[in-house]
A and B are shown apart, each in its own frame.
Chain A
Amino acid sequence: MTRKLTRRHVLAASTATAAGSFITPVRAAPPEPTKITPALIEAAKKEGKFSWYTSVDLALAEKVAKAFEARYPGITMKVERSGAERNFQRIGQEFQNRIYNCDVVNSSDAAHLIVWKRARMLAPFVPEDVAQYFPAAHKDPDGMFASWRITLCPIAYNTRLVKAEDAPKSYADLLDPKWSGKIVKAHPGYSGTIMTATQQLSRDLGWAWFEKLAKQKVMQVQSATEPPKKLAQGERAVMADGGEYVAAELKARGEPVEIVYASEGTPLITGPSAVMANAPNRNAARLFQAWSMTREAQQLNIDVGALRSAHPQAVDRADMKKFSDIKMLKEEANVVADQADAIKAQYVKYFKV
């Protein structure tokens, strides 16, 4: 079954990116799908603990952990939340020094999974739900990772500071001088969501758009989870980018936040998860990975976290715009994997930090 990597595969892969962004060379057949069996639960309980590196908003991450711990008592889950790009750097640094702290990893920059797969840092593992239900665009053909979460990177504004009719409708609108000093924006050097979005926007709008945006006296924060919070505080009127799920959750709690899906299209952000090859708690890691892809867990992501899901049985929230009605920009994780450094350098050139 082992296939040899040829140029034609790579070419086929790059033309196939429209279908999905997880195109990496196929090395071998994916492993058999794993069910959550009593034996797996028992083995996981014996380990008793594991750690999950993620970049999802901390409040949601801890809710996921509490839900898992309640479902499988006796297993303690440690959440390591940081920006995806910082997690990526730390995992690399720890790996180089043969420190294996991470059991399950989730990143908002799908390119990270491609890089880790190339470096053979991931364990092949296919949960039953992924094999059975997930569309091909949301699982690695070698069974190394699958989309644990999907979100978007929209524009948003504070409804107390901006009237609906005055709100920006497009990325072009953000360049209007009236928004000077009123925009908050996260950073591709720290946030995977923003790294992914920056690649899409620079491709479709051109870097000139960023160059002009940088002249709008933008407030620069790090994580994509922070701009919506700055909006809720009333610190800035408009966010140029940030996590849709954080903004939607704040809105649902009655904070004055409204989301805008830009007329040019909104960057799509998939956040895959994987079990690490050197996971010190491999059974607990597998149990969590399997559980996290079930309909139950995916629905929790939607209900308490306002995320989107690749699981076809999970139901969108009534208070959010239907996923299929949103005009989206094409995600190209394989391009990000190769160009991340250049994107960061270009960004720093315009925004200075």
Chain B
Amino acid sequence: MTRSFDLSRTVLAAVAALLAAMIALPVGWLLVVSLTAKDGGVTLANFVALFTDPTFVDPLITTLIIACSVSAICCLVAAPLGWLVARTDMPFARTIRMLVMASLVTPPFVGAIAWEMLAAPNSGLLNQLWRLLSGMPPDEALFDIYSLGGLIFVISCYTFPYVFILVANALDRMPGELEDASSMLGARTWQTARLITVPLALPTLLAGALVAFLQALNLFGSPAILAIPAGFHTLTTRIWSLFQFPPKPELAAAASVPLLVLTVVLLRAQAMALGRRGYAVLGGKYGAPRPIRLGLLRVPAVALALFVLAMPLFLPYAALFNSAFSRVASRIVGPETITLHNVKFTFLELSSTMPALKNTFLLATASATLGALLALMIAYIVARKAVRGYRALGFLATAPLAIPGIVLGVGLFLAYTRPPLALYGTLWILLIAFVTIELPAAYQQLGSAFHAVHPELEEAGRMLGATRLRTLADITAPLLRSAVIATWCFIFVATIRELSAAVILFTSETKVLSVLIFDLKESGDVGAIAVLSLTMVAITTVVIAAANRLHARPQSRPA
């Protein structure tokens, strides 16, 4: 009797309660504080102050301009590139696809710092090179990264891969027969592309545009690095500046609400756009799409792809390597000037390096493990309709998507700086933040993986007397192994590069690598930044490679 006692109800209820608390606490406190007057009464004064003060309205408008521009640029770049990779015989298509994905490992704020080294108007390496080649006078600049245009460019560099992945995957799945039919009816290649491929891909592209818009809207790192020297704020940097002394959490909370609302609305729009994607697939079995022959255009196509990749990948990493081994970042390192000074400083003198590395590694591992586990449980409950109200659970797990990192940071700060859970100052508050932020993506990945596992395998286990949890552990989990590992890696990488919530929640004892880099930026210690950024990317790459090896190894667990 005791052996077959099913704990699952309790566990499921606990998961649901945990989820509700994780989301309801910060968002609840955010709303409460934004509506509270200094004397404790209910007020809309914070919102009135917000929408009548030009130091809030200007950043809001700037942010919208940035988000719209980034969204348009990402589509213009990602759509042709996605099409080239997925539907044509362009050489090295697989490598290019992999490199675009790899560029996602770069934290956006590190990309922004690298682009500062490249395109600061006077000391930027590209501007210096151009002056050398063209004889442009020293005061003029080809590129000025400290400008609205510069910021839009850098955000686009690290946002277009998201759109690219969506578009390329959608084009992979698109039935080739429709295109074949078109060409059989006499349409030329380009005509088919225009009349068939583009309309079929349009809903995905729209969804991609929204993803890019949301990314740009909620990004903190790149604007903090590029907008402040240029003399303007975005909404996220303005929210952050409200934590200067004397901190004004009530205004920060109120300023977070427009971001929250806009994100929720846009996510609804995205769901609708993606929901309509199904109309292309009319049933039946389709052959693999036939690649379009580019002919003479093959070389220009590869050149274009490599040119695009130079922006987020080749150029920034060249700049980072250069300043890691240079005394002054604006000088190209030669055999005589190369120095290990920055490496020595970072690892032997800088006393925050090792604690920050330790905290980051600990948090990334814990967040990835806990996040993957939680996402697995929720995905299971929702996919198998295991408890009543499972839909609410799925909704809750996706809800954090609507909370920008900096807003969640503010919310968690408000929620956990008071009893009963005074977690501020501990690693726990960061763990909660990271798990909450990464849960939606983890849940979506594992949710789709569950669809591939037929429930009858689990039913067999249950009939033989195993509890639901045991079935989950012994049957379902091993079958989902690769998806779980992929999710784990995803959360690990995302945690290491997270800055916007961490910058609100850290204390000196709980500093993580991204915050350390951000602090070093404040005092302009670019050499150490380059070394730490490269270390960060190296760790990420090693962990992903290791996880992939683990994944490839045959199963050793006894049946």
Contacts and interface: CB of A to CB of B under 8 A. Distances in A.
Among A82, A102, A340: residue with most chain B CB under 10 A: A82
Contacts of A182: 139
A344 to B, nearest CB: 8
B352 A79 contact: yes
A102 B523 contact: no
A262 interface: no
Given A226-B522, A226-B523, A348-B55, A233 B231 contact: no
Contacts of B417: 96-97
Interface in A90-130: 90, 92-94, 96-99, 101-102
A66 B350 CA distance: 10
Given A223-B524, A235-B330, A85 B244 contact: yes
A233 B507 contact: no
Report whether over half of chain A's contact residues are helix, strand or loop; otherwise say mixed.
Answer: mixed
A223 B355 CA distance: 23
A219 B146 contact: yes
A189 B524 CA distance: 16
B246 interface: yes
Contacts of B120: 233, 235
B425 A94 contact: yes
A229 B524 contact: yes
B401 to A, nearest CB: 28
B349 A62 contact: yes
Contacts of A59: 345, 349, 525
B231 A353 contact: yes
Contacts of B231: 218, 220, 351-353
A229 B328 CA distance: 9
Contact of B352 (A80, A93, A187, A219): A80
Contacts of A223: 522-524
Among A101, A187, A226, A233: residue with most chain B CB under 10 A: A233
A220 B228 contact: yes
Report whether over half of chain B's contact residues are helix, strand or loop; otherwise say mixed.
Answer: loop
B351 A101 contact: no
Contacts of B227: 353
A230 interface: yes
A255 B330 CA distance: 12
Given A232-B328, A235-B122, A81 B523 contact: yes
A136 interface: no
Interface in B463-480: none
B303 interface: no
Contact of A99 (B229, B244, B328, B507): B507
Contact of A352 (B138, B232, B351, B519): B232
Nearest to A55: B523
B424 interface: yes
B541 interface: no
A182 B349 CA distance: 34
B189 interface: no
A21 interface: no
B398 interface: no
A339 B384 CA distance: 62
Nearest to A161: B138
Nearest to B138: A161
Given A86-B244, A86-B522, A353-B233, 12 more contacts: A58-B520, A62-B351, A78-B352, A78-B508, A98-B422, A99-B424, A161-B138, A181-B139, A226-B523, A233-B329, A235-B123, A341-B246
15 contacts: A62-B345, A62-B351, A63-B349, A77-B351, A79-B352, A81-B519, A89-B244, A90-B508, A98-B422, A99-B424, A182-B139, A229-B524, A233-B328, A344-B244, A353-B233
Please list the 9 inter-chain residue pairs (A to B) with the smallest Cβ-Cβ separation, ordered nearest first. A226-B524, A89-B245, A235-B123, A99-B425, A233-B330, A229-B524, A233-B123, A62-B349, A223-B523
